[in-house]
Structures are given as structure tokens and as C-alpha cells.
Amino acid sequence: MRRKKQVVDAAIARADRDQGLLLVLTGNGKGKSSSAFGMAARALGHGLRVGVAQFIKGNSDTGEEAFFRRQPGVTWQVLGEGFTWETQDRARDAATARRGWAQAREMLRDPNLALVILDELTYPLKYGWLDLDEVLADLAARPSGQHVVITGRGAHEALCAAADTVTDLADVKHAFRAGVRAQRGIDL
């Protein structure tokens, strides 16, 4: 454990440059989107502008959307029509994802957005609704100082390889297994 801390401390000491980061928050554990929205709050606290593109979540009543939509400096786009098991129309889901990516691409081209959150982007990639190579090219072409956070389970290996930071959240225990529904203020 001590050796691992020494390696990490040495890497931190060598870090000497700034750049826009690509972060991927994936895994079966809870907290991927919550972590991304924590970064949004952090960016806003520093006076930076934030763009959010939600791919799978539809017109739901989430606390983060209700809060961040009221914040100056936030652009918020709900690009999906709901979770895939609710829509049951794969062709429409694919068309919606492609239209959504066109809007997300505009955020990725906007040098005024310091942070872009692509919430649940892993699903349209996993289902083949979006072209992975096109998404990777758009991510690579973004302004050099722009940070991007991608959330969702099952992140593609190529997406993880392109990222600067990848966090795999593990599901150890979850209240829903005990029959507890998603809770306002915690889960939505």
C-alpha cells in the first residue's frame, strides 16, 4: 500500500501541463452521472460554462436537471426519449440518438464551454445507434482546453483507450435489491 502511494505521489509531482481532459465514468455501480454533475458544480463554481447532453434519459423530473437548468452558464439538452426498455422502438431510438449527437457535436465545437457532459452516451454506442469512429473523431477535434465527461455502463474499449481518466464504478450493494425504489434527491 505504501509503495502504491509513493508511485501516485511521484506521478502527481511530475504533472506539469494543462489540457482538456476526456473522462469516462462507467461500470455497474451507482454514481456515474452524480459524479459528472459534481464536476459541473465545481466548474460553475470557478465561473466556467457547462454543456450537458443527456442521451437516454427522457423528460424525467430529475433534481440535477431542475437545479442546473436554473444556473447561468449551463446549456442543457435532453436528447433521448426515455430508457430503451420504455420506448421499445429501436429505429426511433437510433434516429433520436443521431439527432442528439448532432446537438452534442455543436457543444463539442463550442470553445466557450469548458466542460461538456455526455450523460449515458455509452448506450447509443453499445446499441450501434451512433458510429464509434465518428464520436471519437468529434471528441478528438474539440477545443484543446475543453473537458468532456462521458457516463454510462459498458463503455467501449476504444472509448476508454481514448480517455485520459477512466473510472469503473463497482456495484457492491444497492437498495433496489431490497425492494427500495429510486429516491428523489438521491437517485433522481
pLDDT tens per residue across span 22-31? 999 999 999 9
Map out the domains of the chain as residue ranges.
Answer: 19-178
Provide the grid cell at 30. 451507482
Radius of gyration of the chain (CA): 17
pLDDT of residue 60: 62
Q: What's the topology of domain 19-178?
A: Rossmann fold (3.40.50)
| Contact indicator for 25, 149 with CB cutoff of 8 Å | yes
pLDDT of residue 78: 87
Q: Which residues of the chain have pLDDT under 50?
A: 85
pLDDT of residue 74: 97
User: How far, in Å, CA of 81 to CA of 97, rounded?
Assistant: 9
